[in-house]
Structure 1
Amino acid sequence: MDVTPYYHCASRCVRRSFLCGVDPLTEQNYEHRRDWIKQKIYALSQVYCIDICAYAIMSNHYHLVVHINRDKAQALSDREVVERWQQDHKLPALIMRWLAGQLTSTAELEASIAIIDSWRSRLWNLSWFMKELNFDIAYQANREDKCRGHFWESRFKSQALLDEQALAAAMAYVDLNPLRAGVATTPETSEFTSIQARLEALNNQQQTAPCLHPFIGNPTNEKLDGIPFRLMDYIELVDWTARQYRDGKASLNSVIPPILRRLNINQYNWLKGCTELEKHRSTAVGCIYNAEIAKHALSKKRIHLLRLDG
């Protein structure tokens, strides 16, 4: 969060049995779990000040691209913080009394404000968001499977997305996961993905899909809060990138989507980023200039960077 508000996150199931879909060994159908994850992501996005830019829910893992909205969390009133936290958590008796205006001492007031301030910090904390998401799914799955133990193979993995190039590449990578895995033939038929949700919303003449961070087009418009490029550019970008996967060609089409030109993306590195985002030990994705800024801000000598510029 010190260098970028955008992150790509992924969590994978530890057990042989599937997170979702149909397990070919046991023939047991876990398809309903996809909806568990989608609904929990949507629910948490209403509590946390963490915006969902892209998601894909696969058979044994899921991906998220998120925007951490710290300014939004800090601008909330104390009552708004409590109202958000209350949506998914049980409030302690002290805070219930604070809401009702029944506190009788300065000590109680100070204790209440301290609790609310801790919740405010959690509202833009990615670790808290992912912990609550993974705990809920693991709890439901273990209860359904009548077993105990770890459900996820490790703590979630994350990559910092240092610039617009990295954000676009990560979102396309996530939205095209089903196509890359061979379980979908087009972006619009990729179930349980943000690209399908956005296209369905577009077909229904909606501004944006429910609970997804909107595209605002103009990154210089500070009054708008959203993804800093146009939805139609992104859809064209995803479609173009999908065709490269299916053709399996190293060479590129002569017609390049506007967003590739505007973001000054190196075409070879773009395809590399969209197909190999998780194959490298990268903790950050972006251009070398922004990586140098990140190293300085984090006081680090080295960052494992998946480079997108020339």
Structure 2
Amino acid sequence: MAETLEQSDHTSVQRRIESITSNRSNCIPAAKRRDSFLAPVTIDERSGQIGPCVSQSGKRCSDKGFLPMSLEDYVEMLDWTARQIAPGKSGRTPADTPPVLKRLGLDGTAWCELVSDFGRLFCTVAGRPECVDPLRSLRTHRRYHLRRRARELLARVD
């Protein structure tokens, strides 16, 4: 197990952090960065276009962000979550929820359970009940169902 996010080999967060630090020391063109194949994190929900945004470079699927937070907030949230899920991990575990989770209206305990049990909680589709409930399988035409515990945890999200 890696001690820090920077040491977590073969992960997208490691590549994103490397790009942040190398960009501060010397200007590397976006196309040459180690994370150039990754979609950007930040999405501007107010001015961003709706729907897919196919990459113009052809190096990745999308040029559109996927979370309403900055890359720095995303890295902070990943680090906090890892420290909560793996309490033996070195470093100080902050007692309270990071500001980004508060801004997004997420309860820290519910968030950690959603992350650590994701595969068990969401078998076929993942999302808020109001988004998943109307969906139907293209193959069987049956509605998708969320597990009761997933519904309980997502009810705690503002």
Normalised-by-shorter TM-score class: 0.5 to 0.7
Aligned to 1:275: 116
User: How many angstroms apart in 2 are the aligned matches of 1:220 and 1:279?
Assistant: 34
Specify the SS of the correspondent of 2:74: helix
Equivalent position to 1:219, from 22, 30, 45: 45
Is the contact made by 2:132 and 2:144 (CA closer than 8 Å) also made in structure 1? Answer: no
Identity %: 26
CA positional deviation for 1:275 = 0.9
Specify the SS of the correspondent of 2:126: strand
TM, length-normalised to structure 1? 0.35
1:196 counterpart = 2:14: yes
Aligned to 2:98: 257
Is the contact made by 1:295 and 1:303 (CA closer than 8 Å) also made in structure 2? Answer: no
Unaligned runs of 5+ residues in structure 1 are: 1-182
Structure 1 residue ranges, 4+ long, deviating more than 6 angstroms after superposition: none
Whichever residue aligns with residue 193 of structure 1, its letter is T
User: How many angstroms apart in 1 are the aligned matches of 2:81 and 2:100?
Assistant: 12
Provide Cα deviations, 1:35-62, integer angstroms capped at 9, x if missing partner: xxxxxxxxxxxxxxxxxxxxxxxxxxxx
Is the contact made by 1:186 and 1:242 (CA closer than 8 Å) also made in structure 2? Answer: no
CA positional deviation for 1:280 = 4.1
Give aligned pairs, total.
125
Greater helix share, structure number: 1
Aligned to 2:145: 303
Provide Cα deviations, 1:140-198, integer angstroms capped at 9, x if missing partner: xxxxxxxxxxxxxxxxxxxxxxxxxxxxxxxxxxxxxxxxxxx3122110100001000
Specify the SS of the correspondent of 1:282: coil
Aligned to 1:241: 81
Provide Cα deviations, 1:257-283, integer angstroms capped at 9, x if missing partner: 233123322332211121112234621
Larger RCO of the pair (alpha carbons < 8 Å, separation 6+): 1
User: How many angstroms apart in 2 are the aligned matches of 1:219 and 1:276?
Assistant: 28
Whichever residue aligns with residue 197 of structure 1, its letter is R
Q: Between Structure 1 and Structure 2, whose CA radius of gyration is higher?
A: 1
CA RMSD in angstroms, aligned pairs only: 3.0
TM, length-normalised to structure 2? 0.63
Residues 283 and 304 of structure 1: CA distance in aligned 2, closer, same or farther (over 3 Å): farther
Equivalent position to 2:127, from 282, 286, 295: 286
Aligned to 2:2: 184
